[in-house]
A = this chain, B = another copy of it.
Amino acid sequence: MAANPSSVQTAPSAKRYSDQTWSDICDVLSKRFAERFQTGEAIREQHAHTTTWITNQPPDAVVFATSTDEVAFTVRTCAAHNVPVIPYGVGSSLEGHVNAPQGGVSIDLSRMDKVLEIHAGDFDCVVQPGVTRKQLNEHLRDQGLFFPIDPGADATLGGMASTRASGTNAVRYGTMKDVVISMEVVLPDGRVMRTGQRAPKSSAGYDLTRMMIGAEGTLGIITELTLKLFGIPETVGSVAASFASVDQASRAVIATMQYGLPVARIELLDALTVRAMNDYSNLNFDEMPLLLVEFHGSDTAVGEYMELFRDIVEDNGGHTTPSANSPEERTRIWQARHDSYWAALQLRPGAKGIATDICVPISKLAECVGKAQARADADGLLAPIVGHVGDGNFHVIPLIDMDDDDEVARAKTYIAWLSDLAIEAGGTCTGEHGIGQGKIGYLRRELGDAVDVMVAIKHALDPQDIMNPGKILPN
């Protein structure tokens, strides 16, 4: 998901420190960073910008860091003055993660963009946090390796780790929690911690790597990542299959998983999204629920998997599109899938697309997608749905006229209802976007007293609450 700047408002932050404190901190940081310390309005507003409908709350300054030392220096300086620190990658997060509700300094990590080491024999690499997923794959291409995690946006790897991101390949390759081997992290007091070494697995102590993944910058700032890599598959095969109902499509998904077919991707698009995608990307799928499936492996294996999947589609009342597996057609179709957010926006030009995500057990998928569609209809909302359905994860994108207060209110109520729907189905209010500011209200509904344990950890590691305050945890 990339930036969608329409109709988002900016609000001043509620600063929690005095003008004198701020003046002191500016002296220290501008002396150290010179023109890489910025307080101009445009830069500050840009660093509060997210692809959400949440009001922008710009930081008071931005530091463009180029090294771990610089991040640690900035954090130490802010800690000494009790001033908040907000890590920033490319601002593609969706739930207000980069906002500065209590003011403070945004640390822009996009210039820490070096691939430091590639260990092809070990299937790992070491990168700075500002490297984006596409940059990394560009870098890896001639080594026969790739990094599989692919959220919609070309996000930074530090940001992806911080929100526990995933994407279309997660059903085969996992999420960020599965592919980060270890990290270097600047702690809230400015100390630098390494969460682990480079061994593929370890039983040595608490899993601080996983604790930092998904912590959204509230426990520290990731300054280096050691990541798992994978061999580029010999063959990639793709099948597209249309179904009369989401229920049929879901049954095909379950059968595919139960058969043990190693899908690399299995994506569901509802009829509304198929219509939008046909128009936007000049395709001509039937305007029915669509599954896009991809297999990775040897030539023989992929051929066999595709054949078996086609049988499963037929058994569940669907039909496949014969052309989906020519390389050109495949590229075109998957590009269209990746563009489905933009395509959806064209269903209602001028509207804002509020991408929200929930994740449920696969057996509840059909029921939850059906209910989400029915309720959107009843509420008068146009809300296309796409999903990483091998994981039970789906996105609903209500298309909202942000100038219509009543419609905005209905959309908010709808998204709250959707989170409750997921939680009641044994699922989660967010499969891959994170809590940020937008979903704080649902965390306790989902996890109960576990939230108190999170608060205890936060207090233990960041007693001043300077690391990205106002995110994940209720005040």
Taking a contact as CB atoms under 8 Å apart, the answer to whether A196 and B447 are in contact is: yes
Interface centre among A297, A305, A439, A452 (most CB of B within 10 A): A297
Q: Which residue of B lies closest to A440 (CB)?
A: B205
Cα–Cα distance between A473 and B208 once the two chains are bound (Å): 14
User: Is the CB of A14 closer than 8 A to any CB of chain B?
Assistant: no
Chain A 333-366 interface residues, beta-carbon cutoff 8 Å to B: 359-363
Taking a contact as CB atoms under 8 Å apart, the answer to whether A206 and B215 are in contact is: yes
Q: Which residue of B lies closest to A419 (CB)?
A: B204
Indicate with 1 or 0, residue by residue over A179-222, a CB within 8 angstroms of chain B CB atoms.
00000000100011111111111111111101101110001000
Taking a contact as CB atoms under 8 Å apart, the answer to whether A194 and B450 are in contact is: yes
Taking a contact as CB atoms under 8 Å apart, the answer to whether A201 and B359 are in contact is: yes
Q: Which residue of B lies closest to A187 (CB)?
A: B453
User: Is the CB of A43 closer than 8 A to any CB of chain B?
Assistant: no
User: Is the CB of A128 closer than 8 A to any CB of chain B?
Assistant: no
- A355 → chain B closest CB, angstroms: 13
Cα–Cα distance between A195 and B423 once the two chains are bound (Å): 13
Known contacts A203-B163, A361-B200; is-contact A208 B453 (Cβ 8 Å): yes
User: Is the CB of A70 closer than 8 A to any CB of chain B?
Assistant: no
Cα–Cα distance between A358 and B204 once the two chains are bound (Å): 10
Taking a contact as CB atoms under 8 Å apart, the answer to whether B457 and A204 are in contact is: no
Chain A 390-432 interface residues, beta-carbon cutoff 8 Å to B: 391-393, 422-423, 426-432
Binding stretch for chain B, among A34-42, A106-114, A226-234: A226-234
Contacts of A193 in B (CB 8 A): 448-450, 453
Q: Which residue of B lies closest to A218 (CB)?
A: B206
Indicate with 1 or 0, residue by residue over A296-327, a CB within 8 angstroms of chain B CB atoms.
01101100110010000000000000000000
Cα–Cα distance between A348 and B454 once the two chains are bound (Å): 51
Chain A 121-180 interface residues, beta-carbon cutoff 8 Å to B: 121-124, 144, 163-166, 170, 174-175, 177-178
Taking a contact as CB atoms under 8 Å apart, the answer to whether B360 and A199 are in contact is: yes
Binding stretch for chain B, among A52-60, A257-265, A276-284, A370-378: A257-265
User: Is the CB of A275 closer than 8 A to any CB of chain B?
Assistant: no
Contacts of A120 in B (CB 8 A): 258
Identical copies of this chain, number: 2
Cα–Cα distance between A199 and B124 once the two chains are bound (Å): 28
- A385 → chain B closest CB, angstroms: 17
A-B contact pairs, 10 of them (CB 8 A): A120-B258, A122-B392, A164-B202, A198-B426, A199-B360, A199-B422, A200-B359, A201-B359, A231-B257, A298-B301
- A85 → chain B closest CB, angstroms: 17
Taking a contact as CB atoms under 8 Å apart, the answer to whether A119 and B447 are in contact is: no
- A304 → chain B closest CB, angstroms: 5
Q: Which residue of B lies closest to A181 (CB)?
A: B361
User: Is the CB of A461 closer than 8 A to any CB of chain B?
Assistant: yes
- A309 → chain B closest CB, angstroms: 12
Cα–Cα distance between A208 and B455 once the two chains are bound (Å): 12
Taking a contact as CB atoms under 8 Å apart, the answer to whether A231 and B205 are in contact is: no
Interface centre among A121, A187, A192, A461 (most CB of B within 10 A): A121
Cα–Cα distance between A138 and B363 once the two chains are bound (Å): 24
Cα–Cα distance between A84 and B179 once the two chains are bound (Å): 36
Contacts of A423 in B (CB 8 A): 197
User: Is the CB of A446 closer than 8 A to any CB of chain B?
Assistant: yes
Cα–Cα distance between A392 and B392 once the two chains are bound (Å): 33
Taking a contact as CB atoms under 8 Å apart, the answer to whether B124 and A361 are in contact is: yes
Taking a contact as CB atoms under 8 Å apart, the answer to whether B362 and A443 are in contact is: no
User: Is the CB of A105 closer than 8 A to any CB of chain B?
Assistant: no
